[in-house]
Amino acid sequence: MNNTFAKDVIKGLMAKEKHLSSKYFYDDNGSRIFQEIMKMPEYYLTDSEFEILSLQAEQIYQALNFSQPFNIIELGAGDGFKTFKLLEHLQLKKVKFNYVPIDISKEAIDVLSKNLKERLPDLIIKPKVGDYFEILKDEKHSNVPSLLLFLGSNIGNYVPKDAENLLHLFHQNMNEGDKLLIGFDLKKNPLTIRQAYFDPNGITKRFNINLLIRINREFEADFKIDDFDFYCQYDAISGEVKSYLVSLKKQTVQLKKLETSIEFEQNELIWTELSKKFSLHEVEKLASKTGFNFGQHFLDCKHFFTDSLWEK
Q: Is residue 266 part of a domain?
A: yes
Q: Is the pLDDT of residue 238 over 90?
A: yes
Q: Is the pLDDT of residue 219 over 70?
A: yes
Contact 196, 45 (CB under 8 A): yes
Quick: pLDDT tens for 27-83.
889 989 998 998 999 999 989 999 999 999 999 999 999 999 999 999 988 777 789
Same domain for 165 and 125, yes or no, is: yes
Name residues whose C-beta falls within 8 Å of residue 172's C-beta, 6 or more positions apart in sequence: none
Confidence of residue 130 (pLDDT cuts 50, 70, 90): confident
Q: Average pLDDT over the chain, rounded to whole?
A: 93
Residue scoring higher pLDDT (1 or 176): 176
In CATH, what number is assigned to the domain containing residue 73?
A: 3.40.50.150
Domain extent for 246: 3-25+191-276
Same domain for 175 and 224, yes or no, is: no
Same domain for 82 and 179, yes or no, is: yes
Q: Is residue 37 part of a domain?
A: no
Same domain for 160 and 213, yes or no, is: no
Tell me what pLDDT residue 288 has: 98
User: Which alpha helices (H) appear in the chain, and where do they start and end?
Assistant: 3-14, 28-38, 44-55, 57-64, 83-92, 106-119, 132-140, 160-172, 190-197, 203-219, 280-289
Residue scoring higher pLDDT (3 or 285): 285
Quick: pLDDT tens for 166-191.
999 999 989 999 999 999 999 999 99
Q: In percent, how much of the chain has pLDDT > 70?
A: 99
Same domain for 18 and 74, yes or no, is: no
Number of domains in the chain: 2
Tell me what pLDDT residue 136 has: 77
Tell me what pLDDT residue 31 has: 87
Confidence of residue 1 (pLDDT cuts 50, 70, 90): low
Tell me what pLDDT residue 15 has: 97
Q: Is residue 268 part of a domain?
A: yes
Q: One-letter amino acid identity for 249? A: K
Q: Is residue 38 part of a domain?
A: no
Rounded-to-integer distance, Cα 166 and Cα 177, Å = 19
* 79: DSSP letter: T
Same domain for 98 and 237, yes or no, is: no
Rounded-to-integer distance, Cα 58 and Cα 67, Å = 15
Nearest CA among 58, 115, 110, 105 for reference residue 84: 115
Same domain for 80 and 132, yes or no, is: yes
Tell me what pLDDT residue 254 has: 97
Q: Is residue 93 part of a domain?
A: yes
Same domain for 121 and 19, yes or no, is: no
Nearest CA among 76, 134, 123 for reference residue 101: 76
Same domain for 297 and 178, yes or no, is: yes
Nearest CA among 166, 183, 208, 181 for reference residue 45: 183
First to last CA, the chain: 38
Same domain for 154 and 303, yes or no, is: yes
Tell me what pLDDT residue 80 has: 78
Q: Is residue 30 part of a domain?
A: no
Same domain for 157 and 175, yes or no, is: yes
Q: Is residue 148 part of a domain?
A: yes
Q: Is residue 36 part of a domain?
A: no
Confidence of residue 108 (pLDDT cuts 50, 70, 90): confident
* Mean pLDDT to the nearest integer, 145-150: 96
Q: What is the dihedral of CA 188, 194, 199, 203, to 10 degrees?
A: 90
Q: β-pairing, 146-150 with 70-75?
A: parallel
Same domain for 134 and 204, yes or no, is: no
Rounded-to-integer distance, Cα 178 and Cα 148, Å = 8
Rounded-to-integer distance, Cα 233 and Cα 289, Å = 28
